[in-house]
């Protein structure tokens, strides 16, 4: 059994770690609430833009836009979204393993677009084609999303890839985040029409084609931004849960070590008393 001093040192060390994990949990909780608020505020805008596209698509020559071009698939691009920091449980690992599995099992060539430091650190050690890598600030900004959209749009229109997918942790609840593939390109305008069957006939100025062509790239921006906000919510909820579990584990370890400390101290006291009694007995003889 470790000595009293060693046990006391371990209790102090774990108590310090517990203070850190508890503080990180509180920070993650505050960031989670802020990210959820941003997502809720943004959803009406995304929904309205989708409704506008559904209304416009039936009134213009949509086949002419390059983001809608359907062509034989020879190569795919996967946009894998991770965090910049760790200590968030399986949040990053689930994305990285899913992306790596997709690349290895695909019958077609796959290149990767990496968002977040953890993705870049993971895949730079593996022999896989990387189209680009980009970090994201916390909180996510629309400017960064526009840069990502520009990169995947350029790759698609230059026929460097024929399909683009986003791999992101979709937020279900605080306990559950689901790694999900979302097809980004080519845009599926038919699905937008099915989801937004608007019968109102609007007058568009300068014209439905011009507005439609202007809104399509913006719609792609909005889709990516919304999913990155959802990934941010998932990250903070995963980190909050991980730090809560770490704090609970620290409490359990401190309780066990405190019990061991008391036993060791009691054993030491008993030993000293025994030695004193033995010494007194020897003197009496």
Which residues are designated catalytic? Answer: 88
Two tokens, residue 262: 């008391």
In three-state secondary structure terms, 190 is helix
- Give 229-260 as a DSSP string: HHHHHHHHHHHHHHHHHHHHHHHHHHHHHHHH
191: left (phi over 0), alpha (psi -120 to 50) or beta: alpha
Output the six-digit token pair for 84.
């910049």
Cα separations in angstroms, 241 against 39, 45, 127: 20, 30, 33
Can you say whether residue 116 is alpha, beta or left, with left for phi > 0 and alpha for psi between -120 and 50 degrees? Answer: left
């Amino acid at each position: 059994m470790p000595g009293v001093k060693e046990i006391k040192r371990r209790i102090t060390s774990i108590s310090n770690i517990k203070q850190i994990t508890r503080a990180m949990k509180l920070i993650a909780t505050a960031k989670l609430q802020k990210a959820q608020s941003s997502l809720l505020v943004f959803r009406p805008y995304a929904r309205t833009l989708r409704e506008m596209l559904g209304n416009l698509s039936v009134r213009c020559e949509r086949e002419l836009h390059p983001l809608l071009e359907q062509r034989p698939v020879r190569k795919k691009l996967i946009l894998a979204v991770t965090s910049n920091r760790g200590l968030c449980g399986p949040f990053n690992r689930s994305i990285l393993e899913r992306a790596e599995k997709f690349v290895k099992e695909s019958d077609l060539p796959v290149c990767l677009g990496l968002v977040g430091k953890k993705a870049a650190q993971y895949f730079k050690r593996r022999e896989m084609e990387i189209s680009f890598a980009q970090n994201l600030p916390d909180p996510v900004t629309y400017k960064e999303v526009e840069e990502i959209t520009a990169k995947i749009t350029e790759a698609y229109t230059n026929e460097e890839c024929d399909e683009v997918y986003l791999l992101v942790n979709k937020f279900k609840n605080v306990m559950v985040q689901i790694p999900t593939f979302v097809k980004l390109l080519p845009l599926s305008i038919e699905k937008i029409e099915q989801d937004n069957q608007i019968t109102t006939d609007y007058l568009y100025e300068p014209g439905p084609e011009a507005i439609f062509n202007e809104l399509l790239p913006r719609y792609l921006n909005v889709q990516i931004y919304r999913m990155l906000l959802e990934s941010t919510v998932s990250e903070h909820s995963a980190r909050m849960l991980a730090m809560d579990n770490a704090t609970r584990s620290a409490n359990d370890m401190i309780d066990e070590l405190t019990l061991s400390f008391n036993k060791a101290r009691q054993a030491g006291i008993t030993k000293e008393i025994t030695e004193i009694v033995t010494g007194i007995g020897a003197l009496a003889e």
